[in-house]
Structure 1
Amino acid sequence: MTGFGKIFIVIGIVFIIIGLLWSIFGKLPGDLSFKKGSVTFYFPIMTSIVVSIILSLIFYFIGKIR
């Protein structure tokens, strides 16, 4: 398997993990949501922080394995 193939496998696994976490956590308490009339603004601050921490840990451990 080439290095390029391994990168695609890792990216796929990361997307699967993000999808699972997104479905489990969905809207966390720190996420902002504003609704005014027919316009809704949603800004997932806390979800972004959690996903960032998890991805940082994943890439840290992948770097240690290599």
Structure 2
Amino acid sequence: MPKDNIPIYHQTHPPDLAITEELKLERRQPADGQPVVALFNLRTGDREHLSGLYRRADAVPLQVKKPT
């Protein structure tokens, strides 16, 4: 386990957690100040991707920025 006791999931993660890209597909985003509760390490071919995982239940509706 990492030094701050943040779990790391490899290749899959619990359904109650999501990376920001998954939240965007659900038209949601992490709330202001919402902490990363775990890390997600996905290996595809010779590449690794490390992303933060957020609790889906704490996410808020996606804020669409209006053009200026």
- Normalised to the residue count of structure 1, the TM-score between the two structures is 0.26
User: Using CA pairs below 8 Å that are at least 6 residues apart, which structure has the higher relative contact order?
Assistant: 2
- The structure with the greater share of residues assigned to helix is 1
- The structure with the greater share of residues assigned to strand is 2
